[in-house]
Structure 1
Amino acid sequence: MDEPDLLKRSDGPVTRSRLVRDLRGLGLAEGDIVMFHTRMSALGYVAGGPQTIINALRDTVGATGTLMVTCGWNDAPPYDFTDWPGDWQDALRAEHPAYDLRFSEADHNNGRLPEALRRWPGAVRSRHPDASFAALGPAAHVLMDDHPWDDPHGPDSPLARLAARGGRVLLLGAPLDTLTLLHHAEALAKAPGKRFVDYQQPITVDGERVWRRFRDIDSEDGAFDYTPVVPKGQDAFEVIARDMLTAGHGRQGQVGAATSYLFEAADVVRFGVNWIESKLARSAGYGQRLGT
């Protein structure tokens, strides 16, 4: 961000103490387990960058609190590499490095904070190559350990554990469509037309690199076709999140120069499942939620 833009959008540097004050004003509290999504550019000039944000979050939740982020794997092989020419596939299979908890970078599309948190001393990263998460704090292992290989957004996933343990979700200047927890709602929802992906990625098993098959909801292109129930040009997750806010779930406030949101994870899952099931079942011609 250049200096003219900075002066227009901020009333001064966004410091660690200011972030703590704003986060507490939003409702984040000591002992919280919180998954956070950040758009740094929306906050204004953050003095110290990701390090300052992580330290401010740690100050706010305290020694008994836990931070969590979604990582993914930036350099994972593409889902469709099995459609490549045979010699290309052979080269990839022979030499593509296995997912490594320590060295495989978080998806750059998730911003700078996931990579910064997963590198933080004491952070724990989940084992799933495509849908990995990372956490820092006393509950880190409980959230991350034994991440299911298949259905990694579903039951017993880090997202499921976040909701079960009374966790929260913070959108720190990030738009509503970044509410990753809604993928867990998609995984649980019983609605017509759910889409899945099957793909292969290399992992390490007993010290050896092996290619493993995985199955998950389609979190890239969408687990459902939302076009019948979402206005053209709008993102389904943003629509669900706004409906959730209208229904009285979640808090909105200012952190730095950015509009930010704080949600209860269990509310997000419950509302998301009900929204998906009721809207999509109705659009498919059903009169009530499937399975009831």
Structure 2
Amino acid sequence: MDELDLLERSDGPVTRRGLVRGLSGLGLAGGDIVMFHTRMSSLGYVAGGPQTVIDALRDTVGDSGTLMVTCGWNDALPYDFGDWPAEWQAAVRAEHPAFDPRLSEGDHDNGRLPEALRRRPGAVRSRHPDASFAALGPAAHSLMDDHPWDDPHGPGSPLARLTAMGGRVLLLGAPLDTLTLLHHAEALAKAPGKRFVDYEQPITVNGDRVWRHFHDIDSEDGAFDYSPVVPEGQDPFEAITRDMIDAGHGRQGKVGAATSHLFEASDVVDFGVDWIESKLA
């Protein structure tokens, strides 16, 4: 979508101060620890782009607040790497660079904001090559340090810490199916048929490039088969989030030109676990 299209969809340029007014009206406040997901095009024409959005978020949560995003790794090997032809595997094993939290690009599918935030001076990125997160603010190290290698969406993960620390989740014009925190609910839920993946990625250990085995829920194709309880064509996370909103959780409002939502992390996890366990029992 080009700038002209964005201008035609809005009442004017979206500015840093305008974003702060919208975010404050939604309920975001000083000292908050907030994980955010953003669809830039839904906000309208943002004067200054991603950096303006990050600045506005920082203005709203203040010096005592912390921002968090999901990054991933754009060049992570696919889970089925072990099924590639032997000569392909050998070449990749010999030369694929190790994940570097400082340099490795975040997954492009997550949009422009995570990459913009992780590049900010003082930002901290977690060490996991496939499920990395980044944070900026005084709680960044508490959220990111020692991200578990296995079950990286489960206990002890940045998502678990966000929840335990009273954090919040902001969908800033982002679709309801982007609520990544529900992966933590999937990791915790006790329901039959949970699906897992085992895979390898290169990392650096004591200065050496090594290949490490990882074990996680299947966050790509789904940790569960939701087809019996979710209509065909609807994303399971969208279904859970809509039900959560209908149950009275979260706050909704306009930020820029975008309908946005703010949730308490603990509400998302508790509702998600209960939804999964009750629907898929």
Whether TM-score is above 0.5 comes out as yes
Q: Deviations over 1:37-81 (max 9, x none)?
A: 000000000000010000000000000000000000000111111
Matched residue, 1:218: 218
Q: What does residue 80 of structure 1 align with?
A: 80
Deviations, residues 155-197 of structure 1 (Å, cap 9, x unaligned): 0100000000000000001000000000000000000000000
Q: Residue by residue, what CA displacement relative to the aligned partner does 1:219-256 show, whole Å, maximum 9, x if unpaired? A: 00000000000011111100100100111100111000
Equivalent residue number for residue 105 of structure 1: 105
Report the counterpart of residue 206 of structure 1 in structure 2: 206
Q: Which amino acid aligns with 1:38?
A: T
**Count of matched residue positions in the alignment of Structure 1 and Structure 2:** 281
Q: Does 1:249 pair with 2:252?
A: no
What are the superposed Cα offsets for residues 111-138 of structure 1, whole Å, 9 maximum, x if unpaired?
Answer: 0000000000000000000000000000
1:149 aligns with 2:131: no
Q: Secondary structure at the match of 1:135?
A: strand
Please tell me the residue identity of whatever aligns with 1:99. Answer: F
In 1, Cα distance between the equivalents of 2:185 and 2:224? 11
- Map of 1:180 onto structure 2: 180
Distance in 2 (CA, whole Å) between partners of 1:4 and 1:113 is 21
Q: Which residue of 2 aligns with 1:42?
A: 42
Give structure 2 stretches of 5+ with no counterpart. Answer: none
**3-state SS of paired residue (2:114):** helix
CA distance in 2, matches of 1:154, 1:181: 10
The offset of 1:4, in angstroms, is 4.6
Q: Within 5 Å, give how 1:248-287 maps onto structure 2.
A: 248-281=248-281
- Cα distance, 1:165–1:11 mapped onto 2, change above 3 Å: same
Q: Distance in 1 between matches of 2:53 and 2:218?
A: 31
Q: Aligned-pair distance for 1:84?
A: 1.0
1:8 aligns with 2:40: no
Shift of 1:151: 0.1
Deviation of 1:2 (Å): 3.2
Counterpart of 1:21 in structure 2 is 21
CA distance in 1, matches of 2:105, 2:189: 31
TM-score normalised over the length of structure 2 = 0.99
Bigger CA drift: 76-85 or 103-112? 76-85
Q: Could you tell me which residue of structure 2 aligns to residue 93 of structure 1? A: 93
Q: Please report how far the alpha carbon of residue 8 of structure 1 lies from its aligned counterpart in structure 2 after TM superposition.
A: 2.9
Tell me which residue corresponds to 1:238.
238
Q: Which runs of 5+ in 1 are unaligned?
A: 282-292
Structure 1-normalised TM-score?
A: 0.95
Sequence identity, in percent? 84
Q: Which residue of the partner structure matches residue 228 of structure 1?
A: 228
The alignment partner of 2:134 has SS state of: strand
The CA distance in 1 between the partners of 2:60 and 2:172, in whole Å, is 14
Amino acid in the other structure paired with 1:2 = D
Matches within 5 A, 1:161-200: 161-200=161-200
SS of the residue corresponding to residue 24 of structure 1 reads: helix
How far apart in 1 are the matches of 2:248 and 2:114? Answer: 29
What amino acid does structure 2 have at the position aligned with 1:8?
A: E
SS in 1 for 2:151: coil
**How far, CA to CA, are the matches of 2:208 and 2:8 in structure 1?**
54
Going from structure 1 to structure 2, the CA distance change for 1:88 and 1:231 (only over 3 Å counts) comes to same
1:71 aligns with 2:71: yes
Partner amino acid, structure 1, of 2:245: L
Find the aligned partners of 1:51 and 1:4 in 2 and give their Cα distance: 20
Cα distance, 1:6 vs. partner? 2.5
SS for the counterpart of 2:56 is: helix
Contact in 1 for aligned 2:58/2:67 (Cα 8 Å):
yes
**Counterpart-to-counterpart distance in 2, 1:216 and 1:150:** 6
